[in-house]
């Protein structure tokens, strides 16, 4: 059934208290729940109560102590009739966690028990109003065999524990903070903890623990540092203090997503906890810091203030992503972090916004909410809130968020509540701004700079493209930070903020006797795509002179995008290819030589726009042509600048390894130099890559070298892949890398490789990390996924069909790569459509996959 935002009604009953008693077992867990229910005076009267259930049978139901038989089941939900205004409902259910391959609800992972309840997993554990606006305090009794489950954890504080003589033990957990069911969690298993403490700003001591399997303990130090940094940062940046005596994090290896912010008991994918230099890359370290921060920040933006309904998901996710972005920016290089965030937005969210799955950050309807944990809700959601911060300025924005937390603490709020709090607290008028919540699609801004006399006039025009269900759009306010550079001095007189609110608008700037060079959307102040005709020499100027790091990066990107798009669309003849390349080559040479740049930033400036972003720039894309042109430019750069890249590689190789930004930057440019050399001078680079691999004392260098080798032919490829596997075969996260390297490679036989790897003894459809590592990178390969034969598409469709009965949530994530058919050349478009139709016709498809496939077919 289609669920609509406009149909929201408050639940007729309040459930102030919940008691849960678990008798834990891997194959059989017995759950006894006791719910105190009171009539909700602020909702429509109803004498029945609907308690959601998914795959449950009630073994016993009592109301006020009396067993009743008058219950019924309606599509899995338990329906009870209640005579009065206030009752105690008790229900017993039994579940089999070991059979739960969906990994939603209570499930077994490598001998331990854990839960994932967001969004609608709690109903797989017990009957309950499983919706985020029903807030309750939870008391949990956990009881189970001591040898199998020596550690028993749930939300809040452990208030009692004890032993029985039959080899079982128990623990009682109380969470004093009212919460919705999606924040419930329990974990039972044989785990060890890295323990630490944190003193909050008001002087309270919090016991911290990160729980992992024995043997993984040495790899938790970075996660613990990140946690303490997060707690401190949220006090300073947002005035938010932690509110329980304990904070537990558990790492599990079977997990559908990155991590989960359950109150006081965050559950994490091992990928975002475990790291040491030998097995984790610099990117992994950054991701751990970001995700630990993200989940911790949810304690306020998500838990203390939660969501009224799932249409409001961006209320917590968009805001929390913004918070984790700001945190990571403060912990490391802010400009580099901003560039990375924009790259993610453009490669993941822009395609979503221009495809069949486009939806506003606050969707209007859904069938399966798991399908809306998207780059749009998360990352575009963060950009929308960031724009409010840009409009208000950081101090006034903080007044807005303070007001939001104060006003809505303990409530289930809406996006509208958030916007109103920012309006009132920061003193903004966000009337028109609310359209950012309503409309899908990436706004396009075309601009033209005109110069006359001493005045430069900027003419802006915006269009918000039509998206499914939204043919007509209104203009949105677009805050653009800009600067006008004097060509001679290379300087500007200060940055300005202009806000485009109309469809067409012009802004004049006087005092320019010569036409200035325009730097616009600095810091990516608005999540729009800018269309402008900029002379390559102006882009080269900005790439060299702009004092805004993002704008500098953008100038490099524009230079390359303009060149490749011109060649691909035929507006630049192949004969003129050389001219464009020369300009790009000069800009690259300048970046390689510029001593004022640190290597982390240099690394950003050397990244070519990705194939999906390039495809996004074309009305109809030919993935093979995009790949060929981009690779050819890469090869040209690699051979033209062979000496420069080799010199960078040598210089960077001499930097002592370690955790410093210098060492990290050196590792980044080192592998990048190899990447260009591999394209332009394959022989030389194979030897260099093999040497880098052998010399590596850290995973960043080793993985970088192996990535380059995996794309090349020759014996080193095989040798090093075997070496890597043998070295790390016991470490699941590194074996994931081994799969991912091969499935993302530039090797012409990538498709055959993936096919063979699916038969590897270490491959399993049961583990989401393994499935993603083999197949997600593959969906980005031009030669593999987009093979003209259609075999790549078929492989992903087969995967979806095989995975759907096991883990529908993860299966449905693979539909979107197939959904791009409207924007792809006709031969591939037909092949993609045929695969989507084949999936749609399969019997017994999950709601998750069915919704994504039918939206994709449109």
Instruction: List the catalytic residues.
Output: 295
Please name the helix (run of DSSP H) or strand (run of DSSP E) that holds residue 498, with its range, or none.
Answer: strand 496-500
* Site map (CB under 6 A) of ligand ARG, residues 311-340, x = contact: ------x-----------------------
Helix (H) or strand (E) holding 143: strand 136-145
Contacts of residue 1, defined as CB under 8 A and 6 or more positions apart, other chains included, come to 367
Element at 478 (helix H, strand E): strand 478-485
Distance CA 641, CA 618 (A): 29
119 binds, among Zn ion, ligand ARG, none (CB under 5 to 8 A by kind): ligand ARG
8 A C-beta contact, residue 193 and residue 209: yes
Residues 392-431 binding ligand ARG (CB under 6 A) are: none
Q: How many C-beta atoms surround the C-beta of residue 713 within 10 A?
A: 13
Site for Zn ion in 317-376 (CB under 5 A): 317, 320
538 in contact with ligand ARG (CB under 6 A): no
CB of 486 to ligand ARG, least distance (A): 45
The interface partner of residue 404, options being ligand ARG, Zn ion, none and the CB cut-off 5 to 8 Å by kind, is none
Q: Which stretch binds ligand ARG (CB under 6 A): 62-70, 256-264, 542-550, 688-696?
A: 256-264
Of the ranges 84-92, 258-266, 434-442, 612-620, which one interacts with ligand ARG (CB under 6 A)? 258-266
Task: Render the burial of 285-321: b for 16+ CB within 10 Å, e for the rest.
Answer: bbbbbbbbbbbbbbbbbbbbbbbbbbbbbbbbbbbbb
Nearer to ligand ARG, 120 or 143 (CB): 120
User: Cβ(436)–Cβ(387) under 8 Å?
Assistant: yes
Q: Minimum distance between the CB of residue 723 and ligand ARG, rounded to whole angstroms?
A: 36
Q: Which is nearer to ligand ARG, 238 or 433 (CB)?
A: 238
CA atoms within 13 A on the CB side of 687: 4
Stretch that binds ligand ARG, among 257-265, 391-399, 498-506, 796-804 (CB under 6 A): 257-265
Q: Which of residues 266-325 bind Zn ion (CB under 5 A)?
A: 317, 320
Q: What are the Cα distances from residue 736, in Å, to 15, 253, 729?
A: 43, 12, 10
∠476-390-481 over CA atoms, to 5°? 80
**C-alpha to C-alpha distance for 374 and 377, rounded to whole angstroms:** 5
Determine which residue in the list 130, 175, 261, 548 makes contact with ligand ARG, applying CB under 6 A. Answer: 261
In 99-249, which ranges are continuous DSSP H helix?
A: 221-238
368 binds ligand ARG (CB under 6 A): no
Write each residue from 768 to 807 as x if it is in contact with ligand ARG (CB under 6 A), else as -, in one continuous string: ----------------------------------------
Query: Is 118 a residue that touches ligand ARG (CB under 6 A)?
Result: yes
Q: Hey, what are 759's tokens?
A: 């038969």
Nearer to Zn ion, 126 or 266 (CB): 266
Q: How far is the CB of 128 from ligand ARG (least distance, A)?
A: 17
- 18 interface partner picked from Zn ion, ligand ARG, none, CB below 5 to 8 A per type: none
The interface partner of residue 328, options being ligand ARG, Zn ion, none and the CB cut-off 5 to 8 Å by kind, is none
Q: In the complex with ligand ARG, which residue's Cβ is closer, 95 or 375?
A: 375
Min dist. Cβ of residue 294 to Zn ion (A): 5
**Distance of closest approach, residue 129 Cβ to ligand ARG, in angstroms:** 18
Q: Which of 22, 128, 296, 373 binds ligand ARG (CB under 6 A)?
A: 373
Choose from ligand ARG, Zn ion, none: what does 259 bind? Cβ within 5-8 Å by kind.
ligand ARG
Binding of ligand ARG by 54 (CB under 6 A): no
Q: In the set 193, 244, 251, 259, which binds ligand ARG (CB under 6 A)?
A: 259
Give one DSSP letter per residue of 366-382, joined into a string.
ES-GGGG-SHIIIIIHH
Which CB sits closer to ligand ARG, 317 or 629? 317
Identify the CA nearest to 267 among candidates 329, 211, 308.
211
Does residue number 256 form part of the binding site for ligand ARG (CB under 6 A)? Answer: yes
Residue nearest to ligand ARG (CB): 373
260 part of the interface to ligand ARG, by CB under 6 A: yes
Question: 231 contacts which partner out of Zn ion, ligand ARG, none, CB within 5 to 8 A by kind?
Answer: none
For the chain, the C-alpha Rg in angstroms (whole number) is 28
DSSP string, 232-269: HHHHHHH-----SSEEEEEEESS-SSSEE--TTEEEEE
Number of residues that this document lists for the chain: 858
Closer by beta carbon to ligand ARG, 261 or else 599: 261
Give the one entry of Zn ion, ligand ARG, none that residue 288 binds, where binding means its C-beta sits below a cut-off of 5 to 8 angstroms depending on kind: none
CA 419 – CA 430 distance, rounded (Å): 7
Distance CA 11, CA 42 (A): 9
Count other Cβ atoms within 10 Å, centred on residue 532.
14
Q: Tokens 């653009």 map to which residue? A: 480
In whole angstroms, what separates CA 517 from the centre of its chain?
Answer: 35
Stretch that binds ligand ARG, among 139-147, 251-259, 385-393, 737-745 (CB under 6 A): 251-259
Query: By CB under 6 A, is residue 119 in contact with ligand ARG?
Result: yes
Half-sphere exposure of 477 (CA within 13 A, CB side): 18
Torsion of CA 848, 854, 856, 858, to 10 degrees: -150
Round to whole Å and give the CA distance between 522 and 515.
19
Residues that bind ligand ARG (CB under 6 A): 118-119, 256-257, 259-261, 294-295, 317, 370, 373
Q: Which stretches of the chain bind Zn ion, using CB under 5 A? A: 317, 320
């Amino acid at each position: 059934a289609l669920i609509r935002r406009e149909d929201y009604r408050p639940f007729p009953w309040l459930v102030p208290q919940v008691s849960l008693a678990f008798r834990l077992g891997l194959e059989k867990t017995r759950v006894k729940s006791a719910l105190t229910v009171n009539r909700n005076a602020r909702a429509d009267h109803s004498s029945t109560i609907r308690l959601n259930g998914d795959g449950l049978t009630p073994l016993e139901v009592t109301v006020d102590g009396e067993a009743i038989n008058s219950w019924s089941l309606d599509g899995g939900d338990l329906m009870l009739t209640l005579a009065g205004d206030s009752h105690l409902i008790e229900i017993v259910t039994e579940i089999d966690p070991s059979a739960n391959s969906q990994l939603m609800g209570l499930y077994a992972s490598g001998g331990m028990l854990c839960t994932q309840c967001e969004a609608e997993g709690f109903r797989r554990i017990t009957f309950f109003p499983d919706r985020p606006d029903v807030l309750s305090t939870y008391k949990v009794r956990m009881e189970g065999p001591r040898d199998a489950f020596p550690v028993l954890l749930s939300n809040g504080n452990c208030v009692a524990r004890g032993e029985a003589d039959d080899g079982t033990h128990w623990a009682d957990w109380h969470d004093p903070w009212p919460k919705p069911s999606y924040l419930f969690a329990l974990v039972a298993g044989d785990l060890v903890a890295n323990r630490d403490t944190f003193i909050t700003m008001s002087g309270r001591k919090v016991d911290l623990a990160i729980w992992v399997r024995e043997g993984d303990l040495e790899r938790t130090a970075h996660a613990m540092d990140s946690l303490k940094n997060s707690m401190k940062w949220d006090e300073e940046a947002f005035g938010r203090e932690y509110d329980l005596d304990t904070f537990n994090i558990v790492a599990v290896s079977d997990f559908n997503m990155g991590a989960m912010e359950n109150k006081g008991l965050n559950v994490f994918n091992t990928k975002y906890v475990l790291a040491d230099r030998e097995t984790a890359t610099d990117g992994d370290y950054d991701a751990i810091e970001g995700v630990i921060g993200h989940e911790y920040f949810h304690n306020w933006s998500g838990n203390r203030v939660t969501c009224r309904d799932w249409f409001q998901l961006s209320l917590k996710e968009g805001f929390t992503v913004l918070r984790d972005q700001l945190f990571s920016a403060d912990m490391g290089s802010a400009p580099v972090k901003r560039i990375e965030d924009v790259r993610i937005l453009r490669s993941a969210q822009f395609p979503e916004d221009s495809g069949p799955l486009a939806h506003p950050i606050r969707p209007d309807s859904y069938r399966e909410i798991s399908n809306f944990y998207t780059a749009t809700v998360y990352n575009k959601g963060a950009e929308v809130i960031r724009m409010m911060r840009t409009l208000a300025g950081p101090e006034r924005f903080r007044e807005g968020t303070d007001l939001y937390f104060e006003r809505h603490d303990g409530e289930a709020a809406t996006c509208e509540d958030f916007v109103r709090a920012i309006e009132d607290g920061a003193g903004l008028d966000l009337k028109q701004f609310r359209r950012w919540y309503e409309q899908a699609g990436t706004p396009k801004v075309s601009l033209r700079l005109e110069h006359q006399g001493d005045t430069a006039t900027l003419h802006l025009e915006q269009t918000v493209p039509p998206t499914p269900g939204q043919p007509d759009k209104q203009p949105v306010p677009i805050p653009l930070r800009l600067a006008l550079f004097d060509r001679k001095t290379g300087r500007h007189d200060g940055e300005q903020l202009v806000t485009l609110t109309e469809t067409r608008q012009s802004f004049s700037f006087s005092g320019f006797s010569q036409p200035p060079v325009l730097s616009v959307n600095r810091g990516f102040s608005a999540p729009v795509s800018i269309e402008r005709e900029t002379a390559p020499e102006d882009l080269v100027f900005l790439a060299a002179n702009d004092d805004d790091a993002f704008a500098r990066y953008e100038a490099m990107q524009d230079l390359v995008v303009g060149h490749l798009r011109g060649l691909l669309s035929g507006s630049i003849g192949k004969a003129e290819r050389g001219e464009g390349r020369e300009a790009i080559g000069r800009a690259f040479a300048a970046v390689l030589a510029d001593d004022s740049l640190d290597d982390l930033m240099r690394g950003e400036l050397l990244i070519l726009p990705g194939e999906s972003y390039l495809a996004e720039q074309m009305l109809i894309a030919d993935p093979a042509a995009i790949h060929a042109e981009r690779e050819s430019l890469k090869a040209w750069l690699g051979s033209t600048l062979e000496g420069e890249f080799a010199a960078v590689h040598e210089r960077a190789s001499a930097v002592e390894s370690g955790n410093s930004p210098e060492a990290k930057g050196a590792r980044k440019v080192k592998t990048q130099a190899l990447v260009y050399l591999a394209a332009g001078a394959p022989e030389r680079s194979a030897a260099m890559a093999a040497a880098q691999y052998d010399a590596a004392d850290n995973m960043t260098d080793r993985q970088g070298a192996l990535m380059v080798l995996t794309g090349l032919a020759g014996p080193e490829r095989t040798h090093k892949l075997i070496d890597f596997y043998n070295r790390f075969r016991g470490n699941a996260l590194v074996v994931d890398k081994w799969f991912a390297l091969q499935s993302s490679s530039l090797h012409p036989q990538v498709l055959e490789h993936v096919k063979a790897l699916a038969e590897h003894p270490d491959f399993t459809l049961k583990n989401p990390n393994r499935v993603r590592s083999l197949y997600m990178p593959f969906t980005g390969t031009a030669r593999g996924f987009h093979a003209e034969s259609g075999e790549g598409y078929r492989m992903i469709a087969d995967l979806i069909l095989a995975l759907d009965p096991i883990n529908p949530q993860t299966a449905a994530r693979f539909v979107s790569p197939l959904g791009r058919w409207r924007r792809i050349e006709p031969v591939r478009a037909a092949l993609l459509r045929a695969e989507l139709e084949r999936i749609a016709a399969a019997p017994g498809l999950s709601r998750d996959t069915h919704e994504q496939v039918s939206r994709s077919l449109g």
